[in-house]
Amino acid sequence: MALRIRTRIRVKVRSASPSTGAPALPSLEPGTILEALRAVTGESVSGNDRWYELAGSRFVWGGGCEEISDGNDETDPDADRPDRSHMGDDVPPQFETVAGVAHKVQGSRPRGLEGLIVHFDAFRIKAAGNGAEDSDRRSIQMIGAGKSNGFHYLEISRTGKIFLPDGFDWSKWGSHAGKSLCPVTGRTGVSQFYVGAEMNNPGMLFPTADANVLVPWYNSVRNSNGVTIVDGQGRATRQSATDEWYKPAEARQVKTATGNIKPGWYIPYSNDQFEGLTNLCLYLARKFASFSLDKVLGHDEVAPQRKNDPGGALADPDRLMTMADFRAFLKEKL
């Protein structure tokens, strides 16, 4: 017998198999009512392996849906005032451990996990040139770079997946923010207190003499200290036509300093990536009594002289948010 289900959150529809690796069809908005053929067991996502099979060999993850009884939903006086837990941003984070890649940790956090620092990793997001995104693989590469450099952080891919180093423990700390000062507590060395969330993103971009080409630092001609060489108009030179570059239409130009945001060209975080960050912050705020959304800070807020991340990369292609905006957004959702 068919089941009626209703999406509690925005859910992806998968083709052919109940798995996050299966091809994605267009997402369903929260509150969509569907007929499912049956409940099936599929890939476990956040500990939940229940999926629903829809007609046409399509599948949705059970964690994003609820079964509803026939006939009652339309007459339910509360149907247009859903409970907060049924609203859109309650998705459990999609964690994925990178097996065999453990980071260096320094010890236990003095008072548990208290907050989170938003970074960008200033690394490649594409396979090559101006081609397709390859952010999961790039994020896994950056987890590996943390191991070789002695740093400790998690990575959020542009697909929304959150990659953790092997043996990750929220209560242990390692370096990610460097010399830093927390504007909330006045404490230095914030890595001890706050987990580092590296968002896969090329970092601040440079214009070039070609108005159609923006380049990241790693594909710019640099001096012997590794600093990008720019002309009098702030333009860099592209190093390789086959390495990563962007079109201005992909990027966001911030012309005026606002809050933590420094002027410049940025690639906005993707919708899925921003959703991943949002869900992670809400998850941590619910999981740990020690965690405060007031201590979700930008690297550019704790090291403003040295750093420009996340700057204008936050939030997503449609919305520019300062870190203060982001904290207010999170508190609204908690």
Nearer CB in complex with Zn ion: 10/299: 299
**Which CB sits closer to Zn ion, 152 or 299?**
299
Site string for Zn ion, 209-228 (x = CB under 5 A): --------------------
User: Segment contacting Zn ion (CB under 5 A): 35-43, 142-150, 250-258, 308-316?
Assistant: 308-316
| Pick 51 or 274: Cβ nearer Zn ion | 274
Convert residues 251-290 into a mask of x (bound to Zn ion by CB under 5 A) and - (unbound): ----------------------------------------
Closest distance to Zn ion from the beta carbon of 306 (Å): 9
Least distance in angstroms from the C-beta of 302 to Zn ion: 9
Q: Give the rounded distance of the alpha carbon of 66 from its chain centre.
A: 26
* Distance in Å, CB of 52 to Zn ion, minimum: 40
For residue 41, which phi and psi values (nearest 5 degrees)?
-95, 130
Among 219, 309, 320, 330, contact with Zn ion (rule: CB under 5 A): 309
Binning the chain into helix, strand and coil, the percentages to the nearest 5 are 20, 30, 50
Give the shortest CB-135-to-Zn ion separation in angstroms.
17
User: Cβ atoms within 10 A of the Cβ of 140, count?
Assistant: 17
Distance of CA 187 to the CA centre of its chain: 26
Pick between residue 64 and residue 310 the one whose CB is nearest to Zn ion: 310
Stretch that binds Zn ion, among 104-112, 238-246, 299-307, 321-329 (CB under 5 A): 299-307
Residues 6+ apart with CB under 8 A from 328: none
To Zn ion, the closest distance from the beta carbon of 176 in angstroms equals 7
321-327 LR contacts (CB < 8 Å, sep 24+): 322/258, 322/259, 322/260, 322/261, 323/118, 323/259, 323/260, 323/296, 323/297, 323/298, 324/259, 324/260, 325/259, 326/118, 326/296, 327/293, 327/294, 327/296
Q: Is the dihedral of CA 75, 77, 82, 83 positive or negative?
A: negative
Residue 309 Cβ vs Zn ion, minimum distance, rounded to whole Å: 4
Q: Does residue number 119 form part of the binding site for Zn ion (CB under 5 A)?
A: yes
Number of residues that bind Zn ion (CB under 5 A): 3
Cβ 56 to Zn ion shortest distance, Å: 44
Residue with tokens 């966001």, as numbered in its chain: 252
Nearer to Zn ion, 12 or 299 (CB): 299
Judged by beta carbon, residue 178 or residue 263, the one nearer Zn ion is 178
User: Toward Zn ion, which CB reaches closer, 53 or 309?
Assistant: 309
Integer angstrom CA distances of residue 90 from 10, 84, 279, 299, 324:
10, 9, 7, 25, 21
Which of these ranges, 61-69, 167-175, 186-194, 293-301, lies near Zn ion under the rule CB under 5 A? Answer: 293-301
**152 forms part of the interface with Zn ion (CB under 5 A):** no
299 contacts Zn ion (rule: CB under 5 A): yes
The token duo for 222 is 């640099």
The least distance separating Zn ion from the CB of residue 307, rounded to whole angstroms, comes to: 6
Give the span between the Cα atoms of 253 and 137, in whole angstroms: 27
| Least distance in angstroms from the C-beta of 38 to Zn ion | 46
Nearer to Zn ion, 22 or 199 (CB): 199
Q: Considering beta carbons, is residue 22 or 281 the nearer one to Zn ion?
A: 281
CB 284 within 8 A of CB 291: yes
DSSP 8-state class, residue 217: G
- What is the C-alpha to C-alpha distance for residues 41 and 67, in angstroms, rounded to an integer? 16
Distance (Å, whole) CA 334 – CA 327:
11
The binding site for Zn ion (CB under 5 A) comprises 119, 299, 309
